[in-house]
Structure 1
Amino acid sequence: MRKHWTWFVLVFAVLGIMAVLVMNGCGIGEEVEDDTGEEATPDEGEQEDGAEDRDETIHFGVTNWTSTIPPTYIAKEILEGMGYTVELQEADAGAVYTGLSRGDLDVFMDAWLPDMHEDYMEQYEDTIESASVSYPDGELGWVVPDYVEGIASVEDLQGQEDQFDNRIYGIEEGAGMTETSREMIEEYDLDLEYVASSEAGMLSEVQRHVPSEDPILFLGWRPHPMFVDYDLNVLEDEQGYFETSEVHVVVNRELAENAPEAYEFFSNWSIDVEEVEQMIAEIEDGGDEEELAREWVEEHQDEVNEMIENAG
């Protein structure tokens, strides 16, 4: 009998403990009362001063290009300070534009117009639009260090090819800039050999030539850390093979109605290409994207205020 009674006591004790645990667990994730007796959520008060919680989530399309990262993370930092939730979706350019057209994505910070992405803009013109020009000087073309004198354009290379050992250093076979460069060599009637390599291989040649100020001709594009590391000149291309692109912020057309303050912010957005390049260089040196974006916002508060002054 005593054994049965002992067993009963143990079962009762275990059931009592379980009941306490269940009761304590019921409040997890629910609204709680603050010291004033008013209801408050656990995260309330964590927004920046002056920011309000918003229902809208802003979805960014993010390509794997280094140029996409700085403006995306800076805009993310600003929007979160305005009270928005921000989500980033990595994809290639085609998938980003498809997502924008469907409304799955709201914004893409790295649209190159008119050349690279004009086809996407025309294909989805009913559902997407350019909100602003992020920066107007997305250059690409043939490049020389600024210590090379007398060479300001591709035409200036005629008769001066031996100064560069009759070589232009480029990137991999199959790349658009590689095919275009070979066409340029023929069109401009230049005695040049196109040396195809990887981006890293090309830049290793630059690093080998520049310290001793040896002339070198190679491919360049902005934004890129090469313009942080070296003083470079992009050669004028009289035939128009390489034209400077504007980099735009592209949004889904419904964003203006769904999140008008965010849309207004994107409409006011701009950044200097030099700042994009500097941030890319710091990321490649091991810097954290979010920390660097936070530092940029802190150091450019006047510009940030101008971008959001009409967004609230």
Structure 2
Amino acid sequence: MTRNALSQAVRYGALMMAAGASMAAGVAQAQDSKGTIDLAYVEWASEVASTNVVRAVLEQEGYTVKMSSLSAAVMWQAVGTGDADAIVAAWLPTTHGDYLKQVQDSVEDLGPNLEGTKLGLVVPSYVDISSIDELNSHADEFNDQIVGIDPGAGLMAQTEDAIKEYGIDDLTLQSSSGAAMTSALGNAIENKEPIVVTGWTPHWMFARWDLKYLDDPKKAYGDAEEIDTVVHKGLKDEMPQAYKILDNFHWTPEQMGEVMLMNQKDGTDPYENAKKWVAEHPDVVAKWTDGTDS
């Protein structure tokens, strides 16, 4: 064999070895892959925090995770049709109760991932009134409006019902978004002006500002709720380990609040914050992943 032929043979052999190694790596990667999980959520501070944390945990366990930010109605439709595998953003039994009824035959409610929630009308602590039934007589102070969030949110529908229940004729519910609502609240507090907004717990705004819920003697907003994890039926059979992690996922309002406050810092990424929180709380995460090896 000539020197040139030998050189070509060596190069060919190297290429074949590289190709074989690449193919083997691809096969190994395919074998290691546990599949893709689609998570849907609403663009609320609490749901941004929880969904990113669940994403970080599932990815840590070997899954590919896709997240879709949707309105509440579309989020529920997605998990009902199977376009989304799961949501950790189901406010029940009241706020999202009607949405659940529409898809209940095609989903499975895994129960609460967070308890101790609350919804209602919120004002800065310096505002003189203390009850929803005082709003009408103080409408001028609030510029005749209640600052709301996105129009598809269950909280907005409940607020419309509360307005009817209390006969609030002098204030109008203004749709906006969660971010716009907290921006308006922050501006009002900076100038010590009266403002009333639609609010919920857990939310980072209670850690940042001194706020209070207006009393709801008629229980228009119902009693305390919980945030549930809901999955599309069939996920348990298709991805039992991911299902178990989602079923085990449960944390406290204080833990969620830590992540929400991290997300409020300028220039931060909720996904990176979630990964940081997960890395710093291995004992908590272990309770979600324990016994899920397949």
Query: Aligning the two structures, in what range does the TM-score lie when normalised by the shorter sequence?
Result: 0.7 to 0.9
Could you tell me how far 1:250 is from its partner in structure 2? 0.6
Q: Where in structure 2 are there 5+ consecutive unaligned residues? A: none
Q: Deviations over 1:56-81 (max 9, x none)?
A: 32513223513332212212222333
The equivalences for 1:116-131 within 5 A come to 116-131=95-110
Deviates further, 139-148 or 195-204 = 195-204
Give the equivalent residue in structure 1 for 2:172. 194
Assess, with a 3 A threshold, how the Cα gap between structure 1 residues 289 and 22 changes in structure 2: closer, same or farther: same
Assess, with a 3 A threshold, how the Cα gap between structure 1 residues 126 and 64 changes in structure 2: closer, same or farther: closer
Could you tell me how far 1:137 is from its partner in structure 2? 3.9
The equivalences for 1:80-119 within 5 A come to 80-81=59-60, 83-90=61-68, 92=70, 93=72, 96-103=75-82, 105-119=84-98
Q: Give the AA of the match of 1:23.
A: M
Assess, with a 3 A threshold, how the Cα gap between structure 1 residues 236 and 29 changes in structure 2: closer, same or farther: farther
Identity of matched residues, %: 25
> What is the TM-score normalised by the length of structure 1?
0.70
Deviates further, 15-24 or 136-145 = 15-24
Give the equivalent residue in structure 1 for 2:246. 266
The equivalences for 1:295-310 within 5 A come to 295-310=276-291
Assess, with a 3 A threshold, how the Cα gap between structure 1 residues 85 and 123 changes in structure 2: closer, same or farther: same
Give the equivalent residue in structure 2 for 1:31. 24
Q: How many residue pairs end up in the alignment?
A: 285
Residues 146, 197 of structure 2: 8 Å contact kept: yes
Cα distance in 1 for residues equivalent to 2:94 and 2:164? 22
> Given the alignment of the two structures, is residue 170 of structure 1 paired with residue 151 of structure 2, yes or no?
no
Q: Deviations over 1:13-64 (max 9, x none)?
A: 99879846753542252237xxxxxxx97779xxxxxxxx865325132235
Assess, with a 3 A threshold, how the Cα gap between structure 1 residues 286 and 185 changes in structure 2: closer, same or farther: same
Assess, with a 3 A threshold, how the Cα gap between structure 1 residues 166 and 238 changes in structure 2: closer, same or farther: farther
Cα distance in 2 for residues equivalent to 1:94 and 1:173? 11
Residues 122, 198 of structure 2: 8 Å contact kept: yes
Assess, with a 3 A threshold, how the Cα gap between structure 1 residues 165 and 258 changes in structure 2: closer, same or farther: closer
Could you tell me how far 1:261 is from its partner in structure 2? 3.3
Structure with greater proportional helix content: 2
Assess, with a 3 A threshold, how the Cα gap between structure 1 residues 99 and 155 changes in structure 2: closer, same or farther: closer
Give the equivalent residue in structure 1 for 2:35. 57
Over aligned residues, Cα RMSD in angstroms?
4.0
Residues 49, 260 of structure 2: 8 Å contact kept: yes
Could you tell me how far 1:142 is from its partner in structure 2? 1.1
Cα distance in 2 for residues equivalent to 1:208 and 1:100? 37
Could you tell me how far 1:220 is from its partner in structure 2? 2.1
Residues 40, 86 of structure 2: 8 Å contact kept: no
Q: Give the AA of the match of 1:219.
A: T
Residues 90, 230 of structure 2: 8 Å contact kept: yes
The equivalences for 1:1-312 within 5 A come to 19=12, 22-23=15-16, 25-31=18-24, 56-66=34-44, 67-81=46-60, 83-90=61-68, 92=70, 93=72, 96-103=75-82, 105-148=84-127, 151=130, 153-157=131-135, 161=138, 164=141, 167-171=144-148, 181=159, 184-185=162-163, 187-190=165-168, 192-194=170-172, 196=174, 198-199=176-177, 202-211=181-190, 213-243=192-222, 244-284=224-264, 285-312=266-293
> What is the TM-score normalised by the length of structure 2?
0.74
Cα distance in 1 for residues equivalent to 2:48 and 2:149? 23
Cα distance in 2 for residues equivalent to 1:162 and 1:120? 32
Residues 158, 190 of structure 1: 8 Å contact kept: yes
Assess, with a 3 A threshold, how the Cα gap between structure 1 residues 62 and 235 changes in structure 2: closer, same or farther: same
Cα distance in 1 for residues equivalent to 2:176 and 2:15? 61
Cα distance in 2 for residues equivalent to 1:213 and 1:282? 26
Q: Give the AA of the match of 2:20.
A: G
- Secondary structure of the residue aligned to 1:29 is helix
Assess, with a 3 A threshold, how the Cα gap between structure 1 residues 289 and 227 changes in structure 2: closer, same or farther: same
Q: Where in structure 1 are there 5+ consecutive unaligned residues? A: 1-10, 33-39, 45-52
Could you tell me how far 1:221 is from its partner in structure 2? 3.1
